[in-house]
Amino acid sequence: MEKIVSLCKRRGFIFQSSEIYGGLNGVWDYGPLGTELKNNLKQYWWRVIVRERDDVVGLDGAILTHPAVLKASGHVDTFTDPMVDCRTCKARLRSDQLAEKNGVKQCPNCGGKDLTEARPFNLMFQTQMGASADPASIAYLRPETAQSIFVQFKNVLDVSRKKLPFGIAQIGKAFRNEINPRNFTFRSREFEQMELEYFCRPEQGMDLLAYWLKERIKFYEEIGISRKRLHILDVPEKERAFYSKGTFDIEYEFPFGRQELEGVAYRTDYDLQQHIKTSGKVLDYFDEETKERVVPHVVEPSAGVDRAVLALICDAYDEDSAPDEKGKMETRVVMRFHPRMAPIKCAVFPLLRNKEALVAKAREVQALLRPHMNVFYDEGSAIGRRYRRQDEIGTPFGVTIDFETLGEKGEELRDTVTLRDRDSMKQERVAIKDLPEIISSRIR
Ligand code: GAP
């Protein structure tokens, strides 16, 4: 894991937030490459969940949330983790993450056994709205994106005129005051979720749970996560939320252990019923065929953006060997991102930087590709070193402009370039005019 964390910082995927002031615990900033990777992930999720389907529409709800919403959902009263204090080193710990030796609970920091009783700690971040500081001005930073979907259910249904089953999808920030943020970005206090609330008739719930579990596994495979590192946990009834009739956790084998990437849960009609009860408003669906009003049930695939990004990074990291400038084999660090996810799709290199005609042609190729994909231009240092730098950040394609391109080795090669594949390191000669389509077809 250290190698991955250090590469993330060195190459600009992920930085500690507020680092120059000592860092803010559990909060992370994404650097230039991390931002691209995260955007590619979110865009692909949006593409397959919303744009390529007739039955799902989107929502972009507010982060600041009315306390009544979170009172109705149960978050104000029960969104807690059990917390204990270590009286020896003063650490605050989640009681379910304590170390245990010979049946005795211990502080994982100092080994101390003098621990307080566990007490519930609410994970929500509370803030004040407006200038007065009375209890009526309390608002919360949302702990999940789902609640605005339930609260806006009727408005979205009225404008979209969808028939059951249909879904409302959202990508956005969520905040939890985790007692013990850890494992790099895995457990953060500020993170992003990609959530779908898929509304259906009660009798469709269990089948749709199975359907969405399959769809979501397919999604992780399509973004390049290896199937053998993905696991499905059928959450036993006693560990599920009391209103859930079935929940599956999709887990990934991180270097620090097998951990949850996403939950796929059949939440029945719990959320809508709670908001109906608390708000007194009608949040139901009128069935034109049966002329009946029903409160829809919901199946929810809820994924963490940051966890999926971390899984992409862990899964892509690889070391192999490649020849250096003198043909001697050396270790090559290569991020084997699926081309669809790779932050930079193609690097463009003039063979030599002091040959004006090569540089001009390379700039032309860069301009040709730019409208289609994220391109990086690099003319510094030897070509082999430039390839290595791109391998380390997972750029799947490299285009080199050489003397053949200029027509100096025969007219038939004029305006052709070498296209190098990151994984096989093989090069093919292709015409410049064909590059946009060749590369686009491989990154879609
Ligand atoms: N609406 C349901 C819900 O929020 P959850 O299991 O609490 O369910 C869903 O969260 C997903 O959000 C998790 O599977 C995980 O990927 C992500 N997530 C939750 N807490 C997180 C945290 N502290 N840091 C990063 N991601 C988190």
Whole-angstrom distance, CA of residue 341 vs CA of residue 34: 11
Contacts of 311 (CB under 8 A, 6+ apart): 220, 225, 229, 252, 254, 261
Contact call for residues 425 and 332 (beta carbons, < 8 A): no
Strands (E), 53-110: 56-58, 64-65, 80-85, 92-94, 99-101, 104-106
Whether the Cβ atoms of residue 435 and residue 399 lie closer than 8 Å to each other: yes
> Which residue, by CA, sits nearest to atom 26 of ligand 1?
304
Q: Which of 330, 348, 327 is nearest to 390 (CA)?
A: 348
The model's pTM is 0.94
Taking only the tens of pLDDT, the chain with its 444 residues reads 899 999 999 999 999 999 999 999 999 999 999 999 999 999 999 999 999 999 999 999 999 999 999 999 999 999 999 999 999 999 889 998 888 888 899 998 888 999 999 999 999 999 999 988 888 899 999 999 999 999 999 999 999 999 999 999 999 999 999 998 989 999 999 999 999 999 999 999 999 999 999 999 999 999 999 999 999 999 999 999 999 999 999 999 999 999 999 999 999 999 999 999 999 999 999 998 899 999 999 999 999 999 999 999 999 999 988 887 778 888 989 999 999 999 999 999 999 999 999 999 999 999 999 999 999 999 988 888 899 999 999 999 999 999 999 999 889 999 999 999 999 999 999 999 999 999 999 998
For ligand 1, say whether the CB of 306 is within 6 Å of any of its atoms: yes
User: Which of 232-239's residues contact partners 24+ apart within 8 Å by CB, and which partners?
Assistant: 233/260
Tell me the best of 213, 307, 312 to mutate to test the pocket of ligand 1, counting ligand atoms within 8 Å of each CB and taking the most.
307
Q: How far apart are CA 430 and CA 421, in angstroms?
A: 13
Q: What is the pLDDT of residue 323?
A: 81
Tokens representing residue 371 in the block: 């409208």
Tokens representing 135? 């209890």
CA distance 152 to 168: 10
In the chain, the N- to C-terminal Cα span, in Å, equals 30
| 390: nearest Cα among 440, 322, 302, 442 | 322
Determine the pLDDT at residue 339: 97
Helix (H, G, I), strand (E, B) or coil at 358: helix
**Which atom in ligand 1 lies closest to the alpha carbon of residue 263?**
14
Ligand 1 pocket mutation, candidates 260, 264, 268, criterion most atoms within 8 A of CB: 260
Phi, psi of 98, deg, nearest 5: -75, 150
Distance CA 117, CA 390 (A): 52
**Is the minimum distance from the CB of 187 to ligand 1 under 6 angstroms?**
yes
Nearest CA to ligand 1 atom 15: 304
| pLDDT score of 328 | 86
Largest CA distance in the chain: 82
The gap from C-alpha 73 to its chain's centroid, in whole angstroms, comes to 25
- Residue with the smallest CA separation from ligand 1 atom 19 is 304
Question: Distance (Å, rounded) from C-alpha 175 to C-alpha 357?
Answer: 53
Q: How far is CA 302 from CA 63, 212, 216, 437, in A?
A: 17, 11, 10, 35
Per DSSP, the three-state class of 9 is helix
Instruction: Give the pair of three-digit tokens for residue 318.
Output: 């690889």
CA 278 to CA 243: how far, in whole Å?
17
The response to whether residue 299 sits with its C-beta less than 6 Å from ligand 1 reads no
Ligand 1 in reach of 302 Cβ (< 6 A): yes
Ligand 1 lined by 176 (C-beta under 6 Å): yes
> Two tokens at 97?
């993450």
